[in-house]
Amino acid sequence: MKDGFIKVAAVTPEIKVADCIYNAESICKSLDEAYAQEAKIIVFPELCLTGYTCGDLFWQEKLLDAAQEGLSRVIAHTAWHEGLVFVGLPWEKDGKLYNVAAAISSGHLLGLVPKRYLPNYNEFYEARHFTLGGPDTDWISFEGEEEEVPFGTELLFCANAPKGLCVAAEICEDLWAPNPPSTAHALAGANVIVNLSASDEVVGKDSYRESLISGQSARLLCGYIYASAGEGESTQDLVFGGHNLLAENGHILAQSSRFACGVTCTEFDIARLREERRRMTTFVPDEDAVYEKCRFWLKEKETKLTRGFDPHPFVPSGKADRDRRCEEILMIQALGLKKRLQHTGAQCAVVGISGGLDSTLALLVMTKAFDLLGLPHNRMTAVTMPGFGTTDRTYHNACELTRRLGAELLEVDIRESVKQHFQDIGQDPSVHDVTYENSQARERTQVLMDLANKKGGLVIGTGDMSELALGWATYNGDHMSMYGVNCSVPKTLVRHLVRYYADSCGDESISQTLRDVLDTPVSPELLPPENGQISQKTEDLVGPYELHDFFLYYLLRFGYSPAKLYRVAKLAFADSYDDETILKWLKTFYKRFFSQQFKRSCVPDGPKVGSVALSPRGDWRMPSDACVRVWMEDLEHIRV
């Protein structure tokens, strides 16, 4: 449960219809499998102690007594294990029969949740046998329990760990109803919903089931455990596939193969779900909800993680999805620039082109925006400004790409003007310090701004979101522009956008130039080359961008703590970086992220393209003098 993770399981046991003793033994055997995988919330299917397909046998008192006997066996089996277990069975109360989910923890029956909606459209006609459950909570006696047990649909099962864990149950058809009980459960505080189901299989139903469960988990910002009946149910008229699904906030984390029995496990991130709800202003808890809270206890310890963490969370996996997303992002960027050019009445757009990835992407976005406006490409001005660190490779690529795109190419050599500036401020040109570097960056920005004034145009910014996060920009140098088209595009995604353009533009000469840009090391080129090659490699100085983008995503999107971020980064990059390297650059990330906020507090306008952005006007409002101490102390306690 450390870091908010908890292991959960959906289980389909092999059963025999109406053989409650066999079924109880099968459930206990499956429980042992789930316990072996350290599952703490374990969910079995609807009516699994009897079988869902008993038909009119549900009216037989002998079956009902056998079901309770089976329940007692399962309860006893949990006595020496911590966790929360849900099993389904028929239950008689006040002369009526209910389809219930029994919640069990460590040898005790915590509560019974009846099914709220009963189907009457299939061969088993549940409404023929059962009564629908109501919202009022009642209390019943059960053999072996010293106190009465709550019975009702409005029950919450709350644990001490992980912090804030709250579980509620619904049964099969409840989810398919227009207003599922899980909606009220979530608004009352439940962040994990369990569903005990017996969903028969027909062609195509599995896809609909997946979308229904993923959608409900997204709407409710919850974890959703769906356990369905399978082998052993009667096949007189239907077949049950045992399709188990585990979803979290819109994502299917794990699912079973259909037409098989077994245990399906993953981990839910309860802390992440609580963070999502805190930031989601449309998720308004129902303060008038009256729910009975049933407490259970879990020992807090580290959960072994089996769920995956994408090392490149900003980049879609799979070429087709990635291409579609890249086209969408380029269009968002271009439309943002199109509107700004229209609104300002700009006669042209000016960009500094270096032969690097960011300025290349900015020029490609400009080209797309001008196409949308129906303007000739020669009204785009790309300015190459050779300095002390410029190499032949980047210079050639900048010039070649500009020509191929049909933009106006201007060259302004800044070396002499920067030398004059050094003389004016008393800077020794042989001292390659921050003044040496930043003077070049600011001179370039001055050239771009003045050219834009002269031409009646706008300076288009090239800096990306990863650089903003790290503060890897010269204040009032490349930090400044009149519209920043790349401001919410992380460095790992910039590369894919440029590659997508190279693959799809249909011009081999442009594609060839773009591929060479992609192969060029990331560098500001502010220090003199060594033997004609780039000497100043950004990732050698601030760390790998793929690590920083990973840190940025999980910090801003889900509010991960430093220690939790380090933990999941180790899993994501196990084949790429050792633990010491990850920790080193994570410390660098936090120090720079906090110390460089003052640069982000005054950035130019630019389009948001994803769920994570750093605009101080809406997406990330952080004081420029916030202290990093609490976060660094968390990292200092880590022992590699």
Domain-embedded: residue 342? yes
138-181 confidence digits (pLDDT tens): 999 888 788 899 999 999 999 999 999 999 999 999 999 999 99
User: Residue 524: is its pLDDT beyond 60?
Assistant: no
Domain-embedded: residue 406? yes
Across residues 215-228, what is the average pLDDT? Answer: 97
Confidence of residue 537 (pLDDT cuts 50, 70, 90): low
**Same domain as 35, residue 81:** yes
Confidence of residue 329 (pLDDT cuts 50, 70, 90): very high
Residues 170-201 as b or e (16 or more Cβ within 10 Å = b): bbbbbbeeeebbbbbbbbbbbbbbbbbbbbbb
pLDDT of residue 523: 61
Per cent of the chain over pLDDT 70 is 97
425-457 confidence digits (pLDDT tens): 999 999 999 999 999 999 999 999 999 999 999
**Same domain as 363, residue 238:** no
Q: Specify the DSSP class assigned to residue 95.
A: T
Across residues 207-217, what is the average pLDDT? Answer: 94
Whose CA is closest to 340, among 301, 384, 373?
A: 373
pLDDT of residue 534: 53
- Which structural domain, as residue segments, surrounds residue 73? 2-296
Domain-embedded: residue 314? no
> What residue has token string 């399978």?
230
538-560 confidence digits (pLDDT tens): 677 889 999 999 999 999 999 99
**Same domain as 360, residue 292:** no
Across residues 420-426, what is the average pLDDT? Answer: 96
pLDDT of residue 529: 65
**Same domain as 411, residue 288:** no
Per cent of the chain over pLDDT 90 is 80
pLDDT of residue 502: 95
Three state DSSP letters for 144-188: CCCCCEEECCCEEEEECCCCCCEEEEEECHHHHCCCCHHHHHHHC
Residues 63-100 as b or e (16 or more Cβ within 10 Å = b): bbebbbebbebbbebbeebebbbbbbbbbeeeeebbbb
How far is the C-alpha of 247 from the C-alpha of 414, rounded, in Å? 56
**Lowest mean pLDDT: which of 517-521, 576-580, 606-610?**
517-521
User: Residue 530: is its pLDDT beyond 80?
Assistant: no
* Residue after which a domain boundary falls, among 296, 327, 349: 296
Confidence of residue 240 (pLDDT cuts 50, 70, 90): confident
Pairing of strands 84-93, 96-105: antiparallel
17-66 confidence digits (pLDDT tens): 999 999 999 999 999 999 999 999 999 999 999 999 998 999 999 999 99
> What residue has token string 């959608």?
215
Domain-embedded: residue 301? no
Q: Specify the DSSP class assigned to residue 1.
A: -
**Same domain as 334, residue 282:** no
CATH at 596: 3.40.50.620
**Same domain as 330, residue 238:** no
> What residue has token string 């079956």?
63
pLDDT of residue 183: 97
454-479 confidence digits (pLDDT tens): 999 999 999 999 999 999 999 999 99
**Same domain as 350, residue 270:** no
Active-site position among 115, 338, 587, 599: 115
User: Residue 527: is its pLDDT beyond 70?
Assistant: no
How far is the C-alpha of 373 from the C-alpha of 194, rounded, in Å? 52
**Same domain as 326, residue 292:** no
> What does each C-alpha distance from 156 to 84, 178, 277, 324, 511 come to in angstroms?
12, 22, 18, 42, 58
**Same domain as 195, residue 104:** yes
Tokens of 547: 């690590």
Confidence of residue 257 (pLDDT cuts 50, 70, 90): confident
Spatial neighbors of 203 by CB under 8 A, at least 6 apart, are none
User: Residue 1: is its pLDDT beyond 80?
Assistant: no
> What does each C-alpha distance from 79 to 28, 73, 82, 85, 162 come to in angstroms?
12, 10, 8, 11, 21
**Same domain as 406, residue 264:** no
User: Residue 526: is its pLDDT beyond 60?
Assistant: no
Q: Would residue 609 be called left, alpha or beta, if left means φ above 0 and alpha means ψ between -120 and 50 degrees?
A: alpha
pTM for this one? Answer: 0.90
**Same domain as 257, residue 390:** no
Mean pLDDT, all residues of the chain? 93
Sign of the Cα torsion 567, 569, 575, 579 reads negative
CATH at 220: 3.60.110.10
pLDDT of residue 199: 82
Cβ contact 374:380 at 8 Å? no
How far is the C-alpha of 34 from the C-alpha of 479, rounded, in Å? 54
Q: Is 46 a catalytic residue?
A: yes
* Residue after which a domain boundary falls, among 262, 296, 330: 296
Cβ contact 353:398 at 8 Å? yes
> What does each C-alpha distance from 467 to 95, 473, 527, 543, 549 come to in angstroms?
69, 7, 18, 12, 10
* Residue after which a domain boundary falls, among 296, 328, 361: 296
Q: Can you tell me whether residue 601 is helix, strand or coil?
A: coil
User: Residue 498: is its pLDDT beyond 80?
Assistant: yes
Q: Specify the DSSP class assigned to residue 604.
A: P
Domain-embedded: residue 14? yes
Counting the structural domains of the chain, the total is 2
Tokens of 482: 């009149």
Pairing of strands 380-384, 96-105: unpaired
How far is the C-alpha of 347 from the C-alpha of 591, rounded, in Å? 42
Domain-embedded: residue 309? no
Q: Where are the alpha helices (DSSP H) in 220-284?
A: 270-279
How far is the C-alpha of 298 from the C-alpha of 321, rounded, in Å? 41
**Same domain as 340, residue 278:** no
Q: Is 172 a catalytic residue?
A: yes
Active-site position among 7, 20, 40, 46: 46
